Amino acid sequence: MDRCVLTLILSLCVKDVKDITKLRQVSKFFNRVLSDPVTWTHLPRIVVRSDVDTIIANTSTTNNNLHWYHGFLHIRPAEDEVYKVIALAEYHRRLILNYSLANSVIDLSGLGNIHTINLSETEEVDVSPLTNVHTLDLSYSNVADVSALTNVHTLDLSDTQVRDVSMLTNVHTLNLSRTMVADVSTLGNVHTLNLSDTSVVDVSVLGNVHTLNLSNTRVVDVSALGNVHTLNLVDTRVVDVSALGNVHTLNLRRTDVSDVSTLTNVHTLNLQRTKVSDVSALTNVHTLNLKGTRVVDVSTLTNVHTLNLKGTRVVDVSTLTNVHTLNLEGTRVVDVSALTHAHTINLGWSKVSDVSMLTDVHTLDLSHTEVVDVSMLTGVHTLNLSHTDVADVSSLTGAHTLNLSHTNVTDVSALTGVHTLNLSHTNVADVSALTDVHTLDLSHTAVTDVSNLTNVHTLDLSHTNVTDVSALTNVFALSLGYTPVVDVSALGNVHTLSLCCCCEVIDVSALTHVRTLDLSFTEVVDVSALGNVHSLKLNGTKVTDFSALDKVAILCMPNGDFLVREVTFD
């Protein structure tokens, strides 16, 4: 095989299921190719096209049912359409088949050795031949009988009509979420089991399951689950958790649990919106979420690594000197003098005003606070001052990431070394000193002159009065939405360019090398020069001639429909 690109084109008629033999032939071919290291080295990328006569982006093809899901292209044809079978090959030497079918029965015999098959949202499918498939997705399908799937490693049956799973004793990872399953007495050896939103009540045999999701079930008794590693009990009726002291990760969010005195060895514990008030016993917990609880006293939590106290009544944090990550958002905390060794602190919407002692904190959120003086925060790496009355930032020369949106800042001449800088919704006008900033947000500012920003990597100038962008030839990602820009001829080498609602832009003939281009709601009509653009948005435009765009991979049409021409794995 000499070509670097392998294109698979396959289309099956709903009424002629005999054509499945074509799929089997292709499958055998791929299995042979993917198992041959010599051949595989000659396949640096695989392109998948999904129509026999024309590629799927042809304007004559119905494309309203195209959508992306977890990185793969899915097609949902109407009942009277021809359905497509897309074969996707990945570098892991496995063939992934994705079916998106209209109402029909399909014969899958002979495909049992394929690694991963997605039959999500299919109608009537006999899955009995798929005994040796490794990963099988049957979610949202009409499958009811899964008795043959005893050797499947990873099986998704969520949102199906399945009731009997007694034979799935050897499945490693099993998703039964939102099914009619009630009896799980045979699933004690499953490693990862999702029973969320089911009518399961008795889980006494699941003590050896590693990861167990029981959220929104009727489970009350969890006394047998003391050896489970990761346990999700969100929105359950569980009250007594005395047996769960050795669970590693435990989520009790929105339960009526109040007594957690036995959970001393839990590593990660979520008590958000529970009835817990006393956490004095949780001295060894590593990560603890107390958001929205009745907790007031946290004096014993000196060894906690990550602590979320958002929306609590906590006031005194003087003992939390060793906490690494601390969320105090929306609390009544005023004195933070003891938190000098914390790595990350969120004080947004708190009552704090004096932060002069937090000089060594790495990441600090002071948004929506009464903080004004930040002159001492010279060593902070990431600092959020948005929606504060801060005006003087001349001392913040060492900051890496700085959010000054909605502040009183006007002079940014000292911020030459900042990597990521947000000045949106400020009165900043002079940005001539910001030549070395990597990522710069100037949206909704008074900036007009950007001639010095030639080295900025990512630049947002939306909602400004900038007109001259001729100097921005080296910018990688540029947003000019809602600006009065007219001439974009210098922007041919920009990688990602947004001209959304730039009503004065008409000529885009110079943008031949732009990879991602947003022309939505512009007056552009002629797009004949944009054949090499990878992703192009034309929604809200008056473009009618698309003949030059047959190579555009992702195209948003004037009516808002998305056309996806090909999927490429590099």
pTM of structure: 0.82
Q: What sign for the dihedral angle of Cα 57, 63, 65, 67?
A: positive
Closest Cα partner for 551 from 524, 512, 494?
A: 512
Among 11-20, 267-276, 557-566, where is mean pLDDT lowest? 11-20
Q: What sign for the dihedral angle of Cα 79, 82, 87, 88?
A: negative
Among 97-106, 238-247, 432-441, where is mean pLDDT lowest? 97-106
Q: How, if at all, do strands 249-251 and 401-403 pair?
A: unpaired
Residue pointed to by tokens 């601390």: 326
479-491: string of b/e by CB count within 10 Å (b at 16+)?
bbbbbebeebeeb
User: Quick one: pLDDT band at residue 106, thresholds 50, 70, 90?
Assistant: low
Estimate to the nearest angstrom the gap between the alpha carbon of 298 and the chain centroid.
33
Q: Which two tokens stand for residue 219?
A: 């489970």
Give the model confidence (pLDDT) of 459-495 as tens digits.
Answer: 999 999 999 999 999 999 999 999 999 999 999 999 9
Among 35-49, 122-136, 278-292, where is mean pLDDT lowest? 35-49
Among 98-102, 245-249, 564-568, where is mean pLDDT lowest? 98-102
Q: How, if at all, do strands 562-564 and 554-556 pair?
A: antiparallel
- Mean pLDDT score of the chain, rounded to an integer? 84
Long-range contacts, 108-112 (Cβ 8 Å, 24+): 108/20, 110/24, 110/27, 111/23, 111/24, 111/27
Three-state SS letters, 39-62 = HHCCCCEEEECCCCCCCCCCCCCC
Instruction: Give the Cα separation of 296 and 389 in Å (integer).
Output: 30
The letter for the amino acid at 487 is D
Give the model confidence (pLDDT) of 183-217 as tens digits.
Answer: 999 999 999 999 999 999 999 999 999 999 999 99
Q: What sign for the dihedral angle of Cα 453, 459, 464, 466?
A: positive
| Res 110: pLDDT | 60
pLDDT at 225 over 70: yes
Q: Which two tokens stand for residue 447?
A: 């900036």
Q: Give the mean pLDDT of 346-366.
A: 97
Q: Domains plus CATH for the chain?
A: 1-116 (no CATH), 448-570 (3.80.10.10)
Q: Which residues touch 135 (CB under 8 Å, ≥6 apart)?
A: 115, 116, 117, 152, 153, 154, 155
Q: Which residue has the higher pLDDT, 395 or 84?
A: 395
- Considering the chain, what percentage of its residues have pLDDT values greater than 70? 79
